[in-house]
Amino acid sequence: MDKKEKKILITGADGSLGGRMVKLLADETEYEVVAVSSFPEKIPHMLAREGVKNLNKIIQMSSEEMFRADLTKFHIAGAVHFAFSRAVFPKEEIASSLDYSLAAFRKVADSHIQNAIYISSQSIYGNTPEWRSEETVPSPESVYAMAKYAGEKLFESVYLGHEELQHTILRLDIVIQSQNLVKTLCRNAKESGRLVLRGGKQMFSYIDADDVPYAILSLLNGKKVWRAIYNVGPNRMRYNLVEIADMVKEAAESHGCTEVEIDFSEDDIALWAGMDTGKFEADTGWKPRYDIRQMVSRIFEMV
């Protein structure tokens, strides 16, 4: 890669994952960062939140500025599209995220930027009991999941006319910091010493937010020819509700809390998770740094 082409464009740079990506690139690599947000006033707060040291390597840009700019003059080597509404946001905001995503995909492709990555979600697979591979038929069950899958289709449609530009879709496992179950269990263990469970058979699989940027970096720095879609997360690892609660109990007791009581009511609730991520690991050599017990412990310390 030409030294002058060492910039990575990050949309949604003020968000949790976007901010972590900005910090990794700026502080631990040779890359500079074009940090884009629809709320540019939030970027300085993100830089402070993440403790970014090499601020001279950050070009801050609003979304409007990005759409107006001639990006070919910035010598951008890759683009990662994080910008998307969260699942808990109103439906109109989720729909608006698709409009924004399509415009961003077109801007990046029309600027002839190589190495474009769309961050999608395991939720597009729906409640499928099998290990989800990239060939598993999508079956979105929520508005958010359907929007994420629609984003994939928009991304693919834009790049039908730009086959010469390398691009891929990353379907992330559930980011543990963004999901409420483990946080709620940890908070209850810390505050009341009692965990109330119903069901027991629900299955969960997680990736730590701090592992996500390293996974993306391994792709940017690694294999020259990417597959169209990758699953990203722990390979074929999932845990039921009782196992998660037991880990929370262990974390609480290891942090000096009194013994935690688990009040379990069995119920036949079907919930599935877990992906086969072997293709991504084979192509990049990446593996998560945090296992499930470490993730639970980190959440316990955070709440």
pLDDT at 270: 85
Residue 145's identity, in one-letter code, is A
In a domain, 287, yes or no: no
Q: What is the predicted pLDDT for the residue at 296? A: 98
Q: From the centroid of its chain, how far is CA 284?
A: 17
Q: How far apart are CA 251 and CA 237, in angstroms?
A: 20
**End-to-end C-alpha distance for the chain, whole angstroms:** 42
Q: Note the pLDDT tens digit of each residue in 95-126.
A: 999 999 999 999 999 999 999 999 999 999 99
Token pair listed for 29: 């690599």
For range 251-257, the mean pLDDT: 94
Nearest to 186 by CA among 59, 267, 298: 298
Residue 3 has pLDDT above 50, yes or no: no
Query: Residue 214: inside a domain, yes or no?
Result: yes
Digit-coded pLDDT (tens) for 255-290: 999 889 999 999 989 899 999 999 999 999 999 999
> What is the value of pTM for the model shown?
0.96
CA angle 6, 47, 99 (to 5 degrees): 75
Q: What is the mean pLDDT of residues 218-246?
A: 95
Q: Using CA atoms, how far apart are residues 233 and 179, in angstroms rounded to an integer?
A: 15
3-state DSSP assignment of residue 81 = strand
Flag whether pLDDT at 144 surpasses 90: yes
Q: Is the predicted pLDDT of residue 201 greater than 50, yes or no?
A: yes
Rounded to whole angstroms, the Cα distance separating 36 from 281 reads: 29
- pLDDT at position 223 is 72
What mean pLDDT comes out for the span 31-35? 98
How many Å apart are CA 272 and CA 264, to the nearest integer? 19
pLDDT of res. 224: 78
Q: What is the rounded distance in angstroms from the CA atom of residue 182 to the CA atom of residue 300? A: 8
Asked whether residue 2 is assigned to any structural domain, the reply reads no
Asked if residue 172 has pLDDT above 50, the reply is yes
What is the domain count for the chain? 1
| Residue 99 placed within a domain | yes
Is 189 among the domain residues? no
pLDDT of residue 297: 97
pLDDT band at 2 (very low <50, low <70, confident <90, very high): very low
What's residue 151's pLDDT? 98
What value does the mean pLDDT of the chain take?
Answer: 95
- 63: in domain: yes
Return the CATH number at 100. 3.40.50.720
Are the beta carbons of 80 and 17 closer than 8 angstroms? Answer: no
Q: Tens digits of per-residue pLDDT, 68-101?
A: 999 999 999 999 999 999 888 899 999 999 999 9
SS3 string of 105-168? HHHHHHCCCCCEEEEEEHHHHCCCCCCECCCCCCCCCCHHHHHHHHHHHHHHHHHCCCCCCCEE
Range of the domain at 125: 7-172+208-234
pLDDT tens for residues 225-236? 999 999 999 999
Q: Please check whether residue 178 lies inside any domain of the structure.
A: no
Cβ atoms of residues 213 and 172 within 8 Å: no
How far CA 66 is from CA of 59, 60, 74, 105, 112, in Å, comes to 11, 10, 11, 12, 14
